[in-house]
Structures are given as C-alpha cells and as structure tokens.
Amino acid sequence: MNCYLCEQELPFLPSWRGLFLNEIQQVVCERCKGGFEKINGTVCPICSAPSDSLCKDCIGWETTEYAALLQCGKSLYYYNKPMQNYLHQYKFLQDVVLSEVFASELQEELGKTKATIVPIPMHPDKLRERTFSQVDQMLEAAGLSYLHLLAKSKQVQGKKTKKERMASSDLFTWNGITVPEKILLIDDLYTTGTTIRHAAKVLKRAGAAEISFFSLIRS
C-alpha cells in the first residue's frame, strides 16, 4: 500500500502482533509522520501550552463561570504546517480515509481510559456539508467506543474573536441520555478552550462529576 499523504509506497512488514493482536497498521510513511510535531516538555496541565504550571489563558478561564470544570487535559501535536495541511485535506476536502492516520496514537492514549469518551459534536448543517464527523471517524478508526451526550447549537465560533467566544451563550445542549460520572471529552483541535469548556459546563449541569479532555492538536 501507499502512504495516505504522499503516495510513497510503504514497506510491508508482517508481525505476530499484527496477525494475532489486531495491531493498527501504519498508513503514513516515516517522512510524513516525522513532519508532525509532538508536544513534549513541561506544559499546562489543562491545555498543554508550554508552561511550568497553569498557563495565563487557563488562569483567566478560572476567574470566570467556567472555573473548575476541567480536571485536566492533554493535546498530542502542535498545529504546524504539515498538521494544517493534514487537517485541511481531512476536514475540508472530505478525505475520510485520513481518519486512520493517527489511529494507533489514539488507541495508545485513550484505549485504557476508565472514563466515558464523549466526542464534541458537529452542528447538523455542518455535518451535512462535510458528510462525516471527523472526531467520530478518528475514534472509530482507533477502535474506541464513545457516547454522544451533546447537540451543537447554530453559533459559529470560527468567525468570532477570542473575547466574543468567551462571552458566547451556551454552544451545546444535553441530549437527555444519562450522564456518567467520569467523562473524557474529545476534539480534534484545541484553540481557545471555549468549545471544551462550554461542553463541560453543560455536562456538569447534567450530572457529570469529573470531566477531562483530549485533543489531537493544540493550536
């Protein structure tokens, strides 16, 4: 098979793990994979920004009505140029097969969680436009089960300033399904933290006791 991103032929390396343990097959070459920059070092325990402790933005959130909603958070990669290209092709060019690119990383990070995985949903209009939910598809490619508890409102966050986002009314509604005590919110991209905190606020009201989050990318 060929690399999903550059079309270079991938070497076939059969293994006992692949045959008997259903190990997720790599679908990108080492060169493409090496272009993605992993987040390492000392980072904010909530948003993964470089920091020795809670970063300035998260400290700011803790002075608002969204304080103490999140136990912790983690993002895996920076939003560098290769990642921007990947996300553009995956989301906006609707290349659904690219959901498999980070399947093994997601399985490694989330496969043993004891919390219920809850994806950030898309608004129905956006879902019809893009034809699939990028977060759901990534989780399915990684073999991870999840539960939808939220519905997205019509508000468009991408066209708002950071200040406007923070002041927005609720972006989500609870769908009425019983909310587990422990929840792990999942999104593809963490930008200002507005989306995650709005989602956490609704779920906290609905009965969640402990909420953390994970995102593939941190911009």
Interval 74-104: pLDDT, tens: 999 999 999 999 999 999 999 999 999 999 9
pTM for this prediction: 0.89
* Strands of the chain, DSSP E: 73-78, 116-119, 150-152, 172-174, 182-190, 210-218
- Cα dihedral 132, 111, 196, 68, rounded to 10, equals 170
User: Cβ–Cβ contacts within 10 Å for residue 44, how many?
Assistant: 21
What is the chain's length? 219
| Mean of pLDDT over the chain | 91
Task: Report pLDDT digits (tens) over 130-140.
Answer: 889 999 999 99
pLDDT, residue 170, reads 82
- pLDDT over threshold 90, residue 179: yes
Instruction: Note whether 39 and 76 are within 8 A (CB).
Output: yes
Q: How far, in Å, CA of 36 to CA of 29, rounded?
A: 12
User: Phi and psi (nearest 5°) for 51?
Assistant: -170, 150
Domains and CATH numbers, the chain: 1-35 (no CATH), 37-218 (3.40.50)
Six-digit token pair at 109?
A: 């990070």
Report yes or no: 55 and 174 within 8 Å, Cβ to Cβ. no
Side-chain half-sphere CA neighbours of 53 within 13 A: 1
Distance CA 197, CA 212 (A): 10
Predicted confidence (pLDDT) per residue in 112-150, tens digit = 999 999 999 999 998 888 889 999 999 999 999 999 999
Listed range (22-26, 92-96, 188-192, 202-206) with the worst mean pLDDT: 22-26
Asked if residue 217 lies in contact with residue 195, where contact means CB atoms within 8 angstroms, the answer is no
Percent of the chain with pLDDT strictly greater than 70: 88
Q: pLDDT-based confidence at 15, cuts 50/70/90?
A: low
Decide if 162 contacts 193 (C-beta within 8 A).
Answer: no
